[in-house]
Amino acid sequence: MLTNPKMLMFLSTLMVGSLISVSATSWYGAWMGLEINLLSFIPLTSKTNNQRMTESALKYFLTQALASTILLTSIILMSYQTYITNNVSHIMMTTSLALKLGAGPLHFWMPEVMEGLTWSNCMLLMTWQKLAPLTLMSYFSPNTPLIFLFIISSVLFGSIGGLNQTSLRKIMAFSSINHAGWLLAAMLCDDASWFLYFNLYVFLTLMSTALFNANKLYHFNQTFTNKINPPTKLAIFTSLLSLGGLPPFLGFLPKWIIIMKMTYSLFILTTMILVMTTLVTLYYYIRISYSAFILLHTNQSWTKMVTTPNQEMLATTIIIISLTGLITTPLIINLSF
């Protein structure tokens, strides 16, 4: 992608569009930035010689265009400055941004879109494309019943939806939906909490997808093969468990902070639902990692384990980063008490 001048141009305008939305001084400017971001992401995902990528690009465009229409309508209603129109516009604006974010129950488009994309495009969709909707949602008061609906449905659909999946891209999509619920829950605490969670989520997602991309892993049964060397399998194991928030890996740190702050804010029921659904997501993460390590598989005589120095360096780096949680997480827990 970075070696193609046209793709590099669209990638640059995609980032500029998000930055325009984040730094806009009016809702019309934020809407314009979201549209620039949308029209820049479509060329990155569509290829004329790949029907599945073109289909995913069309699904993404129709869904995001619907969300943009609802957002623009809510901005127009907001200009009338009456009690009814303000409430209606607030609901419509929250719904449109949740649809752009891929939060449940408006998550229906995300697994289908990601199934037809490459891992590099999946990285963008799960990380950078969430920045502008999340920032815009944090600008107005998030403590409303509608936000709680999005939080609970996101963690429920994101955890249960990934149980019967065999595609790694769909599993990562449902994982992203689950993390969207955690991000919205972090907004109930303060801006620093959700921004910290978002940064660590982006970091851990990039590590996992980079491993899948480097080893050309797209389906669950590909993790059974003996073509993957043990360091890479260990890196997949640690990165997925860290992404799932298993203590004491690095991914547990932001979840522990959110749990503490939500408990102090007396959101007890919501916190219990978040923790219980996280255990379900850990189940299908462990299913990938555990089966890849423990199960014995036949190794054909004509297959050969081929590794490059870049893959070994990537695996070693990810293992070290994931295991930093063994040091940082206990320190944070001790300081918090």
Per-residue pLDDT reduced to its tens digit, 146-158: 899 999 999 999 9
Sign of CA dihedral 248, 129, 15, 53: positive
Query: Phi and psi dihedrals of 167, rounded to 5?
Result: -90, 130
pLDDT at 129: 93
State the Cα–Cα distance between residues 212 and 81, nearest whole angstrom: 50
State the Cα–Cα distance between residues 105 and 157, nearest whole angstrom: 7
Does pLDDT of 142 surpass 80?
A: no
Q: Specify the pTM.
A: 0.89
Range from 96-105, 139-148, 175-184, 198-207 carrying the lowest mean pLDDT: 139-148
pLDDT-derived band at 326, boundaries 50, 70, 90:
low
State the Cα–Cα distance between residues 241 and 233, nearest whole angstrom: 12
Contact yes or no for 95/106 (Cβ under 8 A): yes
The burial of 269, by beta-carbon neighbours within 10 Å (0-12 exposed, 13-18 middle, 19 or more buried), is given as: exposed
Q: What is the mean pLDDT of residues 72-95?
A: 84
Instruction: Choose among 204, 164, 156: nearest CA to 180.
Output: 156
Does pLDDT of 295 surpass 60?
A: no
pLDDT at 236: 82
Q: Which residues contact 227 (CB under 8 A, 6 or more apart)?
A: 303, 304, 305, 306
Of residues 301 and 190, more confidence is placed in: 190
Q: What is the dihedral of CA 189, 174, 129, 273, to 10 degrees?
A: -10
pLDDT-derived band at 34, boundaries 50, 70, 90:
very high
Contact yes or no for 64/145 (Cβ under 8 A): no
Q: What is the mean pLDDT of residues 110-132?
A: 92
Contact yes or no for 45/121 (Cβ under 8 A): yes
The burial of 130, by beta-carbon neighbours within 10 Å (0-12 exposed, 13-18 middle, 19 or more buried), is given as: buried
Does pLDDT of 315 surpass 90?
A: no
State the Cα–Cα distance between residues 337 and 326, nearest whole angstrom: 18
pLDDT at 143: 63
State the Cα–Cα distance between residues 240 and 246, nearest whole angstrom: 9
Contact yes or no for 159/171 (Cβ under 8 A): no
Write out pLDDT tens, residues 163-181: 888 899 999 999 999 999 9
Does pLDDT of 63 surpass 70?
A: yes
What is the H or E stretch that residue 249 is in? Answer: none
Does pLDDT of 97 surpass 60?
A: yes
**Residue found by looking up tokens 């193609």 in the block:** 4
Does pLDDT of 124 surpass 80?
A: yes
Which token pair is 44? 């990155």
Q: Mean pLDDT across the chain, nearest whole number?
A: 84
